[in-house]
Amino acid sequence: MINPEVTIEKLNQFSKGSMAEHLDIEITELGSDYIVAKMPVNHKTKQPLGLLHGGASVALAETLGSVAAFSCIDTSKQQAVGLEINANHIRSVTEGFVYGRAEPLHIGRATQVWEIKIKNEQGKLVCVSRITVAVLDKK
């Protein structure tokens, strides 16, 4: 599944200069079939009412799903690009951190499907998302 040569440090470095860096998303855990990241709930990720912005949750989910897909392919020959993402927002968050965990539902030759569950610091479900990623041969 996830390439054993992939490390947390490489994944965080890969996100430099991107939305993930702007939102302070940090990969914190990496297993053979999952990836975990955290994101602060702060002025960058809240909407005007002081709640975690749904778009920030989707950005965390898309970051995790994309990074996970990237970690499962031969990047010298292939690239992974998002096709579709959806999200259900379950609970609001006003402070602290949220933690997303991406796990594969399908790893195929041409597509991957990842489920991302985002939880608050108390372990309560905040958002559940699913992303479909296309795996394309580089030209």
Catalytic residue set: 62
Q: How far is residue 51's CA from residue 81's CA, in Å, rounded to a whole number?
A: 29
Bridge-partner residues for 132, per DSSP?
84, 113
What would you report as the CA-atom Rg of the chain, rounded to the nearest whole angstrom? Answer: 14
User: What count of other Cβ atoms lies within 10 Å of the Cβ of residue 37?
Assistant: 28
User: What count of other Cβ atoms lies within 10 Å of the Cβ of residue 103?
Assistant: 15
**Cα–Cα nearest to 93, from 64, 57, 130:** 57
Residue 40 sits at φ, ψ, to 5 deg, of: -75, 150
- Return the C-alpha torsion angle 119, 103, 4, 72, nearest 10: -130
